[in-house]
Structure 1
């Protein structure tokens, strides 16, 4: 019981986003993040694609990220601290706009999967962030969005940060 209480006190030292508090009153250290945001629901890039398989609310579009900045820093990941800057949404929308120009749904689906793969890799190796990271400039943040999201196909082939953390994978 003391170990549980100690963990609870430790968890309370992190800054939690209000959405991380579950209905039962317990806090969660991870929050669900839709890589392609809800704001882009109904985007033409998704036309003709099974939304349960690959839509805004599909499992393929989700990743869990730490809520608190300290925990995120300790894990080498982006915190999911809530509202994201317009540049984050705009970069994803730009890629989806390009994908939407492709007439074949199966090709668009493959392109969206590659985008999601690149984002998952970027989040997983700590290179991609949902918000401006502490100690980074807006230009550095934009540069990473460009590298991971806009050039997602190249990033999936050669993700630069894959060996910087957890080399045991």
Structure 2
């Protein structure tokens, strides 16, 4: 990590830099404010496999999580250099069936081509499932193409990144990467 902007337990927002990053330069520092970041985070939904079909879309973040993260992410984007991205992890609580459990959501956020990119890995994973869910995940979640039994879902203006055969990170479609116009 280059710099940690916020940390509480195993939740944090920090700036990181990847060696030989094929997506640089980024549009950083960015003037995206907390309101725009909150709107982007608030539109994200996910689906998961349940009984051999995709579930109804559910919000990735609760409203209080959106409010917490958006200010720190906007500040980090404003402070980042064109070679840095924002890394975040957030511990939260979710109820599945009737049982509440602690879950972890981590990812990267960066601005490129006037769009906000949000890449998840892991996404809402319970503590007891974390090792299995992250098994084999590279340090850079942009190199992962699939979330285990989950996918990001949102209506336009949110989309997946365009495939690019010439780019190491974008050769396959991603279910863990959302792009917000």
Normalised by the length of structure 1, the TM-score is 0.31
The structure with the largest strand share of the pair is: 2
**Higher radius of gyration, 1 or 2:** 1
